[in-house]
Every structure is written in C-alpha cells, then in structure tokens.
A and B are shown apart, each in its own frame.
Chain A
Amino acid sequence: MLAATDLSFAFGDQRVLWDVSLNVQAGGMVGVLGPNGCGKTTLLRLLAGALKPARGSILMDGRPIGQLDRRTLARRIAVVPQHTQLAFDYSVLEVALMGRYPHLGAFEVEGPADLAAAMNALGSTGTAHLAERAFTTLSGGEQQRVAIASALAQLDVRTSTRRTEPRFLLLDEPTASLDLRYQVEIAALVARLHDEGQAADSPLSILTSTHDLRFAATVCTTLILLAEGRVVAMGPPSQVLTADTLSSVYGLTRDMASSLLPTGIPRGVWR
C-alpha cells in the first residue's frame, strides 16, 4: 500500500499542496481530479519520490519511501509523464528498455530477460510492431502507449527475486492532448492493464490524474478531487462526481455541472 499522510509542498513561496492524505491500496485504481494548477502533477512527483515533501510522510508497505534507495523504489513505482520528449532519436524498443535501468548494475547490459520484458510491455500496449521505429516519428497516442510500455517494463518483476511485492503505476493525465479515438484507446488500455495486473503475483495499483470525467467514473474505484492544493472530496466516483462538488471546484453553475456528469455509462465499457 502507498500511503501519504498530511503532505505539504511548496515551490519557494508558492504553496502547492496542503495536508493531502491518501491511500493507494494494493491493486487499487485511483483517479485524481482537479482544475489546472491544483497540484495533481506535484502530488504524483511526490508519490514517486522525485520531490521531497516539505511536511508529511509517504509510506510504501509501511516504510518511508525516502529511506528506500532510488533503484529499489523505481522497481516498485513507475511514472508516465504527460509528455515524453526525447532530445535524441531513440527507437521505440530502446525507450522501452530504458525502463530496465533499475534492474541492472552500473556497467551491466540488458540481457534476454530484459529484452523479453520490454517486448512484452510493447506487446501489451499494442506497440510491438513499432519497436524499430524512431520514437519521435510516432503520433501522440502511440508515444503515450510506448511511454506506458516503458513504465511496464520497469515494473516487470519476473527477473526479480522479490516478485510478490505490490507495484504502483502513476499516470499523469494520460489522455490529455489526445483526440477522441486515442482517449478511448488509452482509457481502455489503462483499464485492461489494471485488470491484468490483478492476476499477477504482485498486484498492480494504478493512480492516474485526469480531466476526463467519463474515464474517472468508469475506470477508477476511488476518486480524489483536489482544489488549490487541498483534498475537497474522496471516495467512490458516485460520491465524488456530484453537481455540488463540480460546481464549487470548477466554478460552474449547478445546471452546467450536472449536465457534465458522466451518467448512464456502464462500468466496464472500456473492457
């Protein structure tokens, strides 16, 4: 379990998060919602150990993540950023293999098992046929799927001795800036990865930030609504996504907010 308690963070004088507490259960599927600038990305960076909180604690299975060395942490928690920008022309397979970094020693070269993990990850995101392509020539949706594959290769524990520990995949607005078809595709992919992750020895938990209410309502089991760095609502989608919360958080009229509620979409529509 990934448990954050009373997290606060500031960039200089600019306070970003206030006393945020949340749990990601082993095998959980958590969505983080909130207006732009409410602290979603910062929350993800804190949970991944890329930033140190000013106050509060983050425990993974009871141990502060700050005490784990970064390679150990990286084998358990992977992050898919909103955009992956490469300064040089790596192939898709090379990007997936970058996920194997925490599994290798300083001068070690990826072996057959690492190659299998990378190809497997590309396969489960439907990008195996792109393996030889240059990452920078892919479309936005394809790049996003390859970025997810790299994170999956990172969390692939088949080569590890401790293969029953829960793993955490953190996604930062995976459907942002994608067209409708890719939004649906990525949403379906995330839902499927979560389902498949439950069958594994070590359950896969997913925490995703998103602006997509349908995605949040139908894929996530728990939602967290942030506003100005604070948790405004937390719970199952039906409790969090109400006309009241949306109208107050996003500054909408009540009618407008209720017209935006994702109602009538069956759970499991993505699967």
Chain B
Amino acid sequence: MTHPLRRAISTVVLCLVVAVVAVIAAPFIGPTPLSFGAVFSTRLPFADNTDAQIFFLARLPRALAAALVGGTLATAGVVFQALLRNPLATPYTLGISAGASFGAMVAITFGFVLPFGLPMGGVAGASLAGAGLAVIVVYALASARHSGLSTTVLLLAGVTMNSFFSALILFVQYLSDFTETFRALRWLMGDLDVAGYEPILAGLPIIAIALLGFGWLARPLNLLTLGADAAATRGVDVVRAQRVAFFTGSLATGAAVSIGGPIGFIGIIVPHLVRLVVGADHRLVLPASFGFGAAFLVGCDVLARTVLSPMELPVGIITALIGGPFFLYMLITRTRNTA
C-alpha cells in the first residue's frame, strides 16, 4: 500500500510549474506584441530596450500580482473551508473583505492617508486596516462565550459584519462625489492594475507569514474536518489550531485584498477543482491550490486585458462571470449528494 500522499505529489508539482509558466507567459500577451528574444536580450541596454521595459515594468508586475493574489486567496479559501467545516465558505465569508472594502472606500472618498509609515499606498493601507478591524470584531464575538472558537458564531458574526460594512460602504459612497464613486466602484470590482512592484513587496511579508502558518496547519486542518472533539481526542490542540487558522487566513485575505481588491470566487472555485484531483489532504490541497489559484488568476487577468482590447476589464468581473455559475452548480450537485 503506497502512502496516499505519494500518489498526488506530481499533481502538486505540476500546479506550481503551471503557475510559474503562466507568470512568464502572460506578459507576452497584450496590445503590443513582444519578442521573447528582445525581452531577454543582453546586448541592448535596458534603457533602450522597449520590449524589456514593457515586459518588466508594465506587464510582469501585474502577472506577479495576479499570481500572488490568486494563490493567496485560493489557499485562504481552503483554510476557511476547513476551519468552518463548510465547503461553501470563502475567504470573504467572515467579513474581512467587507472591512477591507470599507477601509478603501474611506481612503478614496476622504483622501485620508494612514499616519504611520506603512510602505503602501493610502488605499491599500486603509483597506488592510479595515480588514484588521473586521478580524478583531469577528474574533471578539466568536470567542466571547467559548474557550475555543464557535464556528456557528463565527459564521453568524461574519455574515453580520458583511452586511454591516456593506451598509457603511453605501453610506460613504452617498457622501462622495461622482469621480470618487467611480474610483471606489472600480476598486470594489477587483482590479490588478498595479503600477510597479511596490504593492507586491508591501503585501509579500504578510502573505509569507500567513503561508508559513498554513504549512503548520495542514495536518491539524485534516483532523478538524472530523470535528473539534474528534480532533482533540487525537491530540490536536484545537483552540490553538482554530486561532492560527483564523488569524493567518484573515491576514492572507486582508493582504491579498489590499493588492487586488475583493476579487471574488477564486477562494472557492480553485480549492474544489483541486480537491477533485488530489483528494482532501491539506498537505496536498494547500500547495496545489496556491499553484492553481495563481495560474488561474493570471489567466483570468489575461482574459480581462484582452477580451475587449484595447479596453481593460477589471479581473473581478471575469472571475465572477466564471465563479457565479460554478458556485450554483456546486450547490446543486452537493445538495443532491447529501439528500
């Protein structure tokens, strides 16, 4: 009997390779055709090499941002689905993206910049702060009457925070003028139109910490899907695992949203497709979801840039157009299975 891990490890490697290939290939697609030889030419100095400039300064940051955000949202989705023991959970279920959106709206509307020297733009910093606010409120609610985290209260608190922040967003929008409203709306659609590498570098440390946490969580999350009691009697420190899952998942989501806005459905489509291929073990699902999520969002962003070229669509529209029907399909097939 071979170890179940061994059978799917090649799929995981394949997902990661596809992600790398996607990041390198995506910048070659666009209104100005680039030649592979010219981009990586060592004979021309960079200042005179327009192909290389378009590749490295305009398009590669965007592909990298897509890969980082896609991989992060997909793995965060995996973590929240395991934490909540609910296959329909997403990184946004607990209100983190709504908090982040509220922060971004405030920054866009009131031009308000965070006082402390966050190495990111005012909007990104404010969205991260908004996400933090949502995380603290939801955690305080869910741990108020329990020694651990009650998943039921987590879900209810998250749903409540989502609608509460949505109301606040509408209120802020009501106060804003036409151009601010337009910018805000564009942000809410989820857009990877990053200018340069700064947003990526600003989000990267947070995401790296979160991914380390995910690595530690992989096995405890497997056991948590049996239920808290069953996990505890097998030696899992349930309260600690739930806390780590909640905070690292939230950190990752907040950082990803601060880079690309609340891009929807990545966190639910990708984990499900990945599970169909590699099974349910989180030691496989997490890395495979990172690779596949990265490649998937890079691909969606290429679509967004090219489908109505020269107009660029926000990538969130593409993921929503794919994700909405997919989500419904899953809802229907799953209910049929369990009925």
Contact = CB atoms under 8 A, between A and B. Distances in A.
Interface residues of A, number: 38
Contacts, number: 90
A211 interface: no
A93 B216 contact: no
Interface in B52-107: 81-82, 85-87
B4 A101 contact: no
A265 interface: no
A75 B233 CA distance: 9
B279 interface: yes
A73 B236 CA distance: 11
A49 B234 CA distance: 11
Interface string A96-128: 011101101011011000010001000000000
A178 B3 CA distance: 31
B87 A77 contact: no
B118 interface: no
Candidate in B85, B223, B280 with the most chain A CB atoms within 10 angstroms: B280
B233 A94 contact: no
Interface string A209-221: 0000000000000
Given A90-B281, A94-B4, A102 B234 contact: yes
A81 interface: yes
A74 B235 contact: yes
Nearest to B229: A50
A231 to B, nearest CB: 23
A98 B218 CA distance: 12
Contacts of A45: 229
Given A70-B236, A93-B1, A88 B225 contact: yes
Interface in A3-53: 45, 48-50
B5 A109 contact: yes
Nearest to A108: B219
Contacts of B223: 98, 101
B222 interface: yes
Nearest to B89: A87
B3 A87 contact: no
Given A93-B1, A106-B216, A87 B229 contact: no
Contacts of B225: 86-88, 90
25 contacts: A48-B233, A49-B232, A49-B233, A50-B229, A70-B232, A71-B235, A77-B233, A79-B233, A84-B230, A86-B226, A87-B87, A88-B82, A88-B87, A90-B225, A94-B222, A98-B222, A101-B219, A101-B223, A101-B234, A101-B236, A102-B235, A106-B219, A107-B216, A109-B3, A119-B1
Given A49-B233, A70-B232, A87-B86, 10 more contacts: A48-B233, A78-B234, A79-B230, A79-B233, A90-B225, A90-B281, A91-B4, A102-B234, A106-B219, A110-B3
Interface of B: 1, 3-5, 81-82, 85-87, 215-216, 219, 222-223, 225-227, 229-230, 232-237, 275, 279-281, 283
Interface of A: 45, 48-50, 70-71, 73-75, 77-79, 81, 84-91, 93-95, 97-99, 101-102, 104, 106-107, 109-110, 115, 119, 131, 154
